[in-house]
Structure formats: structure tokens, C-alpha cells
Structure 1
Amino acid sequence: MKAPSPLGLQALRLLALTETRSSCTLTNRRTYASQPSQKDPKPTQKQPPPPAPFNKPVPTDLPGYKLRAQPDDSDEFQPTPLSRPIGMPYPPVPGDNMGLDLRSLRQRRDDFVNYEKHLQKRSRMTKQISKPYFRDWSNLRFHKGKQFVAPPRLFRAEHALFFPNFFGKTLRKDAARVDSKDGYRGYGRNSCEATRGKVSVVSIVSSQWAVNQTATFVSPKQNAALHQVLADAKDCAQVVEINREENWLKWWILQLFKGNLRRTRSLEEQGRYFMVYRGVSDVMKEAIGLLNDVTGYVYLVDEENRIRWAGSANAEPEEKESLVSCLSKLIHEARMPKSEKPQPSLEDAVDDVTGRESKAATA
């Protein structure tokens, strides 16, 4: 047998290599849709587990968020009576809360380059931006914005806190100019001077909705018994109205229509109607329970500017009776000489907690 020629050897070599490559390709070929066989080599690296589903965090620290998340017919939030006195820990002083920047140019320059002051200002601006614009209006659907129920009895005088000073202009046309740099062209007045020495029924409003709510407490049509008590005690009882408006556009609209407010009030009542534009801080609001800017609030303030009773939103029948009875007690205390006023005792404190009438009150 003859040996193959060189050309034949090359042809046989090509055929052998072609068959080997085709067999290897067919045995190792697999589509991604099919399951891997046991003969397939195991991966050298372990596959990471699938990522967990992303849950959006709920901003539970946002004020009023839970109220807005509830349905309209939710009964989870129920306003409760005030269990402790509300107010500021120190008595008001004329000139407080004017809301003016009295710093000199040097002080303003030092504060401008102070990094810590910038951080404080940034935190205040962050709180303002995080507050939704319609939050207060959306919270009105829960009990019409009622935050708390008025207490059935007065706060004890020795534990009562103080009503802050609101600095603003009144409705009086004949008011004299005092200080042209007070922010109201010299017509600014202090509410603490109007309430000192008399028992005052103070109402705070900032919208027409709030005006309608406070009317359920103090209007002659809806609470005639209150005005009967006020008429019998003109020497030591009065009504004070505070209309605060921090929006400059709404403030000028209020100035345009203040003539309508004058026509419905006497000269004395015009002097006790305060229009406040600035100076109401968040600390003041939280201290006196003014938690909703569009809700109306009513306070009973004694002759020493202490808050002895408070109500919010629309008045319930029990709250109207409580307001009248508490006002009568405050008038009785105001007319009593200091030497004859009973000193607080442990027995009176127990009677006040249990709801029984003390001996001094019944005497």
C-alpha cells in the first residue's frame, strides 16, 4: 500500500479538524430559554439576591400629616378638654412682640457673616417650606378645625399662665401718634394695656371662617346670656378682638375695608379691636394653643392678663354655658377686694380636681 501524498495528508487533516470543531460546538450549545444541564460548569461567583422592594418612607414627623391621611369620616381624632393651663410663663410687657428688626448696621453685618446664624435661619426656612399651604384648610374637615374642647371650669389663678402681648393698630380714627418707628406709623398699641385691670373676653381671628366660628361664642344672637353678663358688669368686663394677618396682600385688603368694621362698633369697641401684622411667633402660637391659622379662638383673660379659660372653633352648647359661668366667676373675683379673696388651700385644689364646689365658692 502506497503512502498518501502530501496533498492527501493535508486534506485528511482538514477533515479531522472540521469534525472535531463541529462536535464540540453541538455539545456545548444551549439557548438561554432552556434549563442548564448538570454537565454545565457551575458559576464561579455566587449570584447576588434580588433587591428588596422599595417602600417610600412616610413623613410621620410632618405636622398634620396623619390628619390629612385619614378619611373624612374617620373617628380616630377626637378633641378633648384642656387638661392644663395654657399661655406664656412670664407676664406681658408693653412693647413686646413688635416684630421689628432693631439691630444696627454693624450687628446686621456681624450676623450676616456668622455661619451659625445662617444655620438657624436655614432651619426656620426649612420648617416654613415643609408646611403645606392648604394644611390648615384641609384639617377643617375634622370637627371643623376644633383642636380642643373648652374646660368646664376655670384654671386656678395660682397655676394660670399669661396671655402674650399683641402689638398692632386699632380701628380708632382719633388715635394719637406715639412712635413713628413702631411699624404702624405711630398708631401701634399694646393689647396687654387694654386687658390689664379688667376681665376680658378675647377673640383671635385671621379669616372670615374664623370670624364665623368665634361668633358662635361671643355674638349677641348666638350667646345672648354672655352679653347680658357683660352689660351688667361694664365696669370690670369687656370684649377684645384681635385680627392678625401676616400676608401683606390680605393686610392691605383689610385696611381698605376697615371702614365697614368701624360702622358696626362703638368708639370704645374700636379701641379694643387690634389689627396685627407682625410679631406673632411660633412660640406664642404653641403656648396659647393657636395651632390652626384659619380657626377662631376665644380666651377668658383676668385682670392680671392670665388665661383662665379657652375655646376653639365652633362652640358647643356646653361650651357656651361654661363661658358664661366662668365669666361670672371672674367678675365676682375681680370685684372682691384683695384682702377678702380666699387663699388657695389643698382642700380647694382637691375640690377643683374632683369637680365639687369648694366652701369658699359656695359661701
Structure 2
Amino acid sequence: FGNKKAIEDERARLNDEMNRGYFADMKEFKEHGGKIADANKTVIPALSAVKFPELAVTLSNGKVLKLPISCSSGEVNEESLAVPKVSFVCLSFRASSQVQIIPHWLFVSFFKWNQENGMISSWSKPFLESFGDRKDLQVFEVSFIDKWLLGLAPIKKLLLRVLQKQKNNESSVLQRQVVYSFGDHYHFRKETKILNLLTGYILLLDKSGRIRWQGFGTATPEEVSQLLSCTSQLLEDQ
């Protein structure tokens, strides 16, 4: 029975991947520039908010964390981490969809480009400017890396070592943490209903790890205002 279910799941996955590939993403991207939907204007009510799926991420120093950092998170007990009232999470798949088997210096430049991606910074920059003095917030910029070559231990270690050398010039109390999720992310995408891998996904999580706000693509001035307003509301409510 187990094998039969596994086969059915794999068939469903192959069907999804065939029907939703790079060219479909690119066609959509050309139509809307990554803005697959408008950002939420208000905070999603707690009762209707869905939980952010558990996700293992790696920092540039090689340390592994599990997101979200919430009240029930094992990371809080094991690592003595404080539970943030709000977590600002940016999800980016673009670099992992373009990296091929290429020289070391070139794929490093892809990740550096990904960290400076205009879509993500259009949200994170004003967020850090507005809440840079807060200690009850956390910022995570997650890059998904599904290429098997980059997940191999020696190459992964080398990649993280190079990334660790990149200096962080931010002086605010609230620091953005650029992290990486290695390996297959199909089931994570299914749970979060992520289809287009060429755009960015911006989330606000509450202290219970629930998704309370979402944004997509490049931020408009109005959406930045909504992001900051909803963050302030979540901070007050918790």
C-alpha cells in the first residue's frame, strides 16, 4: 500500500512539474512582471491564517535553523532564541532555477545577485529602515537551492564559506539574515501554494508561526505602506 501511494504521489508530482515549468513561469512573468497578486491590505485574521510549513535553512556560517521561530519551535529551547513577535520572511527561487553546472566564481555571483534582488529589497529596505531599532522582530531572506550539485557537501561548504566572507554593513539592531534552503522544495511549494518561481514572495508571520500577511513581486509605494501598517498592528496585538 505504501509503495502504491508513493507511486501515485510521484505521478502527481511529475504531472505538476510538466504542466507548470519554466516557460509557463516566464510567460506569466512577462505579463505581470512578477506581480501575481496584490499584497494584503489588512492583516489576515488569526483564525483563518495558515501555518508556515517547517523549513530547514542554512546560514552562511553553516548553522542550520528551522523556520518558523515560534512558541512551539525546538530552536527556541535548543538555541536559546527569543521568539519574535513578528517574522518578516522573503522567499526567492529565481537563482536556483537559473544556476547550472558552471564555474565556482560564476555561481557565487548568482547568489550575490539573488541577495541584492530588486524585488526583495523593495520590501526589505523600507522594512529595515522603519523597524531597525526593534528587538522583537526577525528578518529572513530565504534562497531556495534545488540543484543537486550545489547540495553536495564539499561544494555546499565552499559556497557557504565564500558567502560568509561577504560583509554586512547594516548597523541597525534588527539584522536581516540571508539563509539558504538546500534540496527539493516541491512539497513546501505545494503547502504554500507557490507556483511561479520567477517572482518573490513576502510574508509576515506571527509568534505562532502563522502567515498573517503576504506580498508578491516588486513592492509599490502603497504596498510598502500596507506592509509597515500591518507589521505595526501585529506588534501591538501580540
Q: Determine if the TM-score, normalized by the shorter chain, exceeds 0.5.
A: yes
Provide the residue aligned with 1:229 in structure 2: 130
Aligned partners of 1:199 and 1:237 also within 8 Å:
yes
Alpha-carbon offset, residue 243 of structure 1:
1.1
Alpha-carbon offset, residue 143 of structure 1:
1.5
Distance 1:154 1:119, change over 3 A: closer
Question: Within 1, Cα distance between the matches of 2:37 and 2:83?
Answer: 26
Distance 1:274 1:265, change over 3 A: farther
1:139 alignment partner, SS class: helix
Q: Does 1:142 align with 2:43?
A: no
Provide the residue aligned with 2:178 in structure 1: 273
Alpha-carbon offset, residue 115 of structure 1:
5.2
Counterpart of 1:168, as a letter, is V
Question: Within 1, Cα distance between the matches of 2:24 and 2:180?
Answer: 24
Question: Within 2, Cα distance between the matches of 1:305 and 1:245?
Answer: 23
Question: Within 1, Cα distance between the matches of 2:228 and 2:142?
Answer: 20
Unaligned runs of 5+ in 2: 70-80, 96-112
Alpha-carbon offset, residue 124 of structure 1:
2.7
Counterpart of 2:28, as a letter, is N
Alpha-carbon offset, residue 255 of structure 1:
4.0
Alpha-carbon offset, residue 236 of structure 1:
1.0
Distance 1:153 1:169, change over 3 A: same
Provide the residue aligned with 1:205 in structure 2: 92
2:68 alignment partner, SS class: helix
Alpha-carbon offset, residue 286 of structure 1:
4.0
User: Which residue, 312, 315, 319 being the options, matches 2:219?
Assistant: 315
Counting strand residues as a fraction of each chain, which structure ranks higher? 2
Provide the residue aligned with 1:218 in structure 2: 124
Alpha-carbon offset, residue 250 of structure 1:
5.3
**What whole-Å deviation, never above 9, does each CA across 1:108-153 have from its counterpart, x for those lacking one?**
xx96xx4564344344334334443332223211120211111111
User: Which residue, 67, 90, 95 being the options, matches 1:191?
Assistant: 67
Question: Within 1, Cα distance between the matches of 2:204 and 2:5?
Answer: 40
Question: Within 1, Cα distance between the matches of 2:160 and 2:237?
Answer: 38
Provide the residue aligned with 2:40 in structure 1: 151
Alpha-carbon offset, residue 217 of structure 1:
0.9
Aligned partners of 1:154 and 1:309 also within 8 Å:
yes
Question: Within 2, Cα distance between the matches of 1:230 and 1:197?
Answer: 13
Question: Within 1, Cα distance between the matches of 2:64 and 2:114?
Answer: 26
User: Which residue, 325, 328, 344 being the options, matches 2:229?
Assistant: 325
Counting helix residues as a fraction of each chain, which structure ranks higher? 2
Question: Within 2, Cα distance between the matches of 1:227 and 1:197?
Answer: 15
Distance 1:135 1:264, change over 3 A: farther
Question: Within 2, Cα distance between the matches of 1:119 and 1:246?
Answer: 22
Question: Within 2, Cα distance between the matches of 1:119 and 1:209?
Answer: 35
Question: Within 1, Cα distance between the matches of 2:51 and 2:124?
Answer: 21
Provide the residue aligned with 1:240 in structure 2: 140
Alpha-carbon offset, residue 291 of structure 1:
1.9
1:149 alignment partner, SS class: coil
Question: Within 2, Cα distance between the matches of 1:276 and 1:216?
Answer: 22
Alpha-carbon offset, residue 209 of structure 1:
6.4
Aligned partners of 2:87 and 2:205 also within 8 Å:
yes
Spell out the pairing of 1:1-363 with structure 2 (5 A cutoff). 114=3, 117-172=6-61, 187-193=63-69, 196-206=83-93, 207=95, 208=113, 211-219=117-125, 223=126, 226-232=127-133, 234-249=134-149, 252=155, 255=160, 257-259=162-164, 262-264=166-168, 269=175, 272-278=177-183, 280-282=185-187, 284-334=188-238
Unaligned runs of 5+ in 1: 1-109, 174-186, 335-363
Distance 1:265 1:287, change over 3 A: farther
Distance 1:291 1:170, change over 3 A: same
Counterpart of 2:130, as a letter, is V
Question: Within 1, Cα distance between the matches of 2:92 and 2:199?
Answer: 7
Question: Within 2, Cα distance between the matches of 1:119 and 1:237?
Answer: 41
TM-score, normalization by structure 1: 0.48
Counterpart of 1:309, as a letter, is W
Distance 1:268 1:236, change over 3 A: closer
Question: Within 2, Cα distance between the matches of 1:162 and 1:130?
Answer: 27
Aligned partners of 1:166 and 1:192 also within 8 Å:
yes
Distance 1:265 1:310, change over 3 A: farther
Counterpart of 2:41, as a letter, is P
